[in-house]
């Protein structure tokens, strides 16, 4: 299996794409988790579906770049609607997120069903964006992911201090004169980018796991932001590699869901076994005084 990683074009391409997705989504998702915006990533990923279908209707093309642009616009509209609902109504953010998630995803399914009834074959394959179809990744798709994803990490590095302050204490960021709204827009935009590069790999339904699970796992192992973000990217990349290899080794095992299963297992293992925060260690620490007392 590891020999095929260097000799098999398809496997190598899929591993590179999955690794890139894991790094970008893991590192950007760490800030979403710290800012308690995990559900925002879920809502935005589901909101991408109608954007994908509308982009196909407008352009008549299934080129990944055109569909990514449509997905990005839909994600952004969804995020703006959530902010507007919270600001202008009495609904809380979780209610607004749930409303936008259901509305956009339902509209996307209606559009997708309608398009798939067209008598042409041009729309074939659009449904793969629901759960992803990693095996269809081509070298040009991976290059497009790199062109979009690597600048995202560079922007994150350039505004590291500002994003860190905003993630931990937005009120303090405002008092020292940081442009909080612009930074909020920046982090939301980076989240949108992380979502759209993963749509072809894991799909709109499972993409939220790639944003939340690596960061949730990394948070259990450290209290330092830099270490957490690096670990989150490492965990995401590891899940991408392992999930792809396991999928390639077992016939008819879907790659995208397998990647999500791998990162979920890693997250649950971290919740249980991390030295300082793990539930197992906490149980042992609490049980030790009882044993000593007896």
Looking at residue 228, its pLDDT comes to 94
Looking at residue 200, its pLDDT comes to 79
147-174, pLDDT tens digit by residue? 888 899 999 999 999 999 988 888 888 8
Looking at residue 25, its pLDDT comes to 92
Is the pTM higher than 0.75? The answer reads yes
**Number of domains forming the structure of the chain:** 1
Looking at residue 122, its pLDDT comes to 57
Domain assignment present for residue 270? The answer is no
Q: Which residues of the chain have pLDDT under 70?
A: 1-7, 120-125, 288-294
Note whether 197 and 20 are within 8 A (CB).
Answer: yes
Domain assignment present for residue 263? The answer is no
Looking at residue 294, its pLDDT comes to 52
Domain assignment present for residue 87? The answer is yes
Domain assignment present for residue 216? The answer is no
Domain assignment present for residue 50? The answer is yes
Looking at residue 6, its pLDDT comes to 61
Domain assignment present for residue 154? The answer is yes
CATH number at residue 100: 1.10.3470.10
Looking at residue 221, its pLDDT comes to 92
Domain assignment present for residue 158? The answer is yes
Question: Containing domain of residue 124, as a range?
Answer: 2-207
Looking at residue 237, its pLDDT comes to 93
Domain assignment present for residue 134? The answer is yes
3-state secondary structure the chain: CHHHHHHCHHHHHHHHHHHHHHHHHHHHHHHHHHCCCHHHHHHHHHHHHHHHHHHHHHHCCCCHHHHHHHHHHHHHHHHHHHHHHHHHCCCCHHHHHHHHHHHHHHHHHHHHHHHHCCCCCCCCCCCHHHHCCHHHCCHHHHHHHHHHHHHHHHHHHHCHHHHHHHHHCHHHHHHCCCCHHHHHHHHHHHHHHHHHCCHHHHHHHHHHHHHHHHHHHHHCCCCCHHHHHHHHHHHHHHHHHHHHHHHHHCCCCCHHHHHHHHHHHHHHHHHHHCCCCCHHHHHHHHHHHHHHHC
Looking at residue 2, its pLDDT comes to 58
């Amino acid at each position: 299996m590891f020999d095929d990683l260097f000799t098999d074009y398809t496997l190598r391409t899929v591993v590179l794409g999955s690794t890139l997705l894991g790094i970008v989504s893991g590192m950007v998702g760490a800030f979403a988790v710290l800012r308690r915006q995990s559900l925002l990533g879920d809502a935005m990923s589901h909101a991408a579906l109608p954007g994908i279908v509308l982009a196909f209707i407008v352009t008549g093309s299934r080129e990944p770049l055109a569909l990514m642009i449509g997905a990005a616009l839909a994600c952004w509209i969804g995020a703006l609607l959530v902010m507007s609902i919270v600001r202008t109504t009495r609904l809380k953010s979780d209610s607004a997120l749930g409303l936008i998630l259901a509305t956009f995803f339902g509209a996307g399914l209606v559009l997708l069903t309608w398009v798939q009834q067209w008598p042409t074959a041009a729309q074939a394959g659009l449904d793969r964006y629901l759960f992803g179809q990693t095996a269809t990744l081509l070298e040009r798709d991976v290059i497009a992911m790199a062109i979009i994803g690597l600048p995202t990490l560079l922007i994150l590095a350039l505004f590291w201090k500002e994003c860190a302050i905003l993630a931990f204490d937005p009120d303090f960021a405002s008092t020292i004169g940081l442009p909080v709204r612009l930074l909020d827009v920046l982090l939301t935009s980076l989240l949108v980018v992380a979502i759209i590069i993963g749509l072809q790999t894991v799909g709109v339904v499972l993409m939220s796991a790639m944003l939340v699970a690596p960061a949730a796992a990394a948070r259990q192992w450290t209290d330092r932001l830099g270490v957490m973000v690096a670990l989150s990217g490492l965990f995401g990349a590891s899940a991408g590699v392992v999930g792809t290899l396991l999928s390639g080794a077992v016939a008819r095992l879907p790659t995208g869901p397998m990647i999500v299963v791998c990162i979920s297992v890693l997250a649950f293992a971290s919740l249980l076994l991390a030295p300082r925060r793990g539930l197992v260690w906490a149980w042992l620490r609490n049980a030790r005084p009882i044993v000593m007392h007896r």
